A and B are shown apart, each in its own frame.
Chain A
Amino acid sequence: MINAFAIETENLTKIYGSGNTEVVALQKTTIRIRRSEVVALLGPSGSGKSTFLTTVGLINAPTSGRIMIGGELIMDGTRALTDLPAFRRKHVGFVFQKSNLIPFLNARENVQIALELNGWTPRKARRRAIGLLDSLGVADRSEHFPTMLSGGQQQRVAVARALANEPNVILADEPTAALDSHRGRQVMQLFSEVAHAHGAAVIVVTHDQRSLDVFNTIYDMEDGVIRQGSLRQAHKHDDEASLR
């Protein structure tokens, strides 16, 4: 679907717990993100950023509302309309702050497994994994286990894995928290390049104010409510990214 948004949510709500312990982490959020759009999500701790990301990433069922990805209705309330693991491995790539990599697989295998899960033959998957690691500048570490990699190297391997299946949606939760600002910026730029090269929508939760210029759109989140960013004007597409 050419005109479809990469990600659309409709009154997406997530409530943790019940009664006294009830926390509304996400409040009736309606948001649309286009293909090739790179979005930053800012907000104080506990505002619900991770919740939004995991809900949209289909690993955290919403309490109510709808999620559409690539124009296809995936979640209607708590009801899944497709095989979520299968959908995830084809269309969603994740990068998180830490504990991203499977410790008993080396860098190359961490990327390769994501491809093999999608039906790639081991031989082809291996070749592509090495290619991806090479393009991220960690080819020389491809046979190293995660514990033998620096934080930045680990993060780049995680990015390689997120990109491996050319997903429509890339979700990153503070991916640069463990990196120095230079490396952090490199990773952000990488997301931007991938978004434009493959037409993927990218949502990055970040606290890093310095790399915000990389993003098309900036959202602020507070108490489960997402608003168009006021910190600074995104330099393009901001009129098209819509928010209700």
Chain B
Amino acid sequence: MELLYGSQGSQKTQSGYINMLNNSKQQNFSTLRFATKDFKPPKYMHCHDRHTTKIWQTAMESDRVQWIIQQVVREESKSEEDVKQEAEHILKELAFTDHMTILRMLGYVLFKVLHSIYHDGVFINIETVKKLKDMIKHHPVVFMPSHRSYMDFTILSVVCFYLDLPLPAIAAGMDFMGMKVMGSVLRACGAFYMRRSFGTDRLYWALFTEYVHTILINGDRPMEFFIEGTRSRCGKSLNPKFGLLSVIAEPYLKAQTYDVLLIPISISYDRLLEEGLYGYELLGIPKPKESTSGLVKASSILRDNYGSVHVNFCDHISLRKYFGHLDRAVHACYPRYMLRLSSEEQKYMEILGYKIVLQQQHNMNYTPWAVMALVLSQHPHGMDMGCLIEETIWLKIIMDKCKIKVNWSTGSVQDIVQANLKKFKHLIEVEGPCNDVPKSIVRVSGITHEVKGHKTFSSNLDPTTIQETVNHIIIGNYRNQLLHHFVRPSLIAFSLLRRSGRSCPGTQFNPDTLLPDFKFLRDLLVREFIFEPKKLNDDLKQGLQFLVQCNAVVLEGFNSFILEKQANKLLQFLKSIFSVFLGGYWLTIQFLLNSTETHLQPTLPGKVQKWIAGILRNPGVEHEMLSLHMISNALHALVGLGYLSVYRVDNQKIVQPIQDQLVGAASKIAQFIDIPYLDGTQATKLGSTAAKL
């Protein structure tokens, strides 16, 4: 490694990153050297070396599994032989293997692939990794990467190999296992497969839990899992899932390990491989089944340049420190293999989940393109280039003030904007006089490059609607990467602008008066953005802080703020970013109010989508509102608020609107935004009253 990546190879950039693909000029040479390099990762001090088969055997012999097997035998009157066989089968399906040669071969291929698609490099924040190497010796660690692409875990494994970090055991989704060759190849590199939902199958749950525990406790490898549960298809972080997190925390809480260190990792991409796939998926067009041949076909698109990737290892979270105030002796009076966490532990587990996601979010890297997407998405019908540049510059200033780090490459903003428009020409069309650049019109392209394997016919939407919508969704996704920085001040903006529509400089306000609006909007958008539960006041404070940093407001006296001259532009901007969400939510409510049918939960978002597609030409209705993700977030939020109730009839979940509440919510939303237009036939009696309010 020294030879190859030493002096000139792994020079740190100013910002503390090294570029793993630095030797691209002598690519073939370095790829081979990479794959055959020495690999001497640090080892957890209490780790006993063992073969991978021993790992699943240990899980099999564990008290928990034996106990559950006995239960199943007794209660489902099966023979012990059968249940054991079933268990063994599940474990083999689950387990990873360990083949260094396959891994090196895969490393070879992957390294090549990375070279060919990420022309600008794969960057790693090396200082944190150095500390991590030492910590790995003392405690079991869990990698918790953000999850926005299939590339996440391949990149992370290659990075580990490159940096001599131990290769993780990766809790991967079953969909990968289906892939013929790749399934086993990934398994050979540490992936183990978990079913998406196994909440009810106790045998599966026990086996999975013990499998994870034995790896964690013995520290064979770092564990790796995605706290968001699934890939985020929309550029934003998803709310954390707590199941696997509890499995990870249990050995510490039950004193089977001294500590466990969680390492959130933010992986950011300049351009996602899946950008098109996601665009379609969010519209409800089924993704092609993961298959190796699919991957190979997809590899034809791998010829493009996807810019760079940033892998940011965040500061670790020690479970021992985090749960330090809870007495683990609460688990002393029953066998440890019975899953039982105290209500306190559950409570803090949830907060921990949010803490991790927030930390991932915080350490993301942003490209100028995301900033441009933020501007472009405000102008769905296009804007002139001059305006785009101007607004991008304005945003850059705002973001600099708030210390939001964007990788502005060198050169003028104008150059950067134009370079990016070229990079993303598959999404954007530019037309107009080539001699007068500022006057040329930039707009979202209506021509999409059909992604192979997509079955558009199975959708609720007609092909033309799909065609003209996909790129809006994709650009929205790039914009989404940034939104968590803006959401808190923007909720304040909504509140400040609610009555007057504009803000007058010199207006004084007490933040407490903002709270009811802030809370309403925050509750409504809980599914859309990451808000730590019960941190309403902190969120408000953060929002105010943002506005203070941007010189939009100043603190006056003890608990009162004054609006500055330049506040209005910022507030209007903040309002307009998030209006599309509130508009989409409002339409969802209108549909619920208008419709007289009974709704089954699984099909409801599709129906809402279809209805919105029908009124797509109405003023105020935007393409993005067709996103099923947005619609189902809206529905979930409404359920959470108690505006919808869900009940079961014959194993089917039925959604029941609660009229008064929904009418109230709709009229409240209408106070914050210019609501989309609905004419009399589109909105029935209820809808129109609500609309007028």
Partners in one complex: no
- Give A residues with C-beta under 8 Å from B: none
Contacts from B to A (Cβ < 8 Å): none
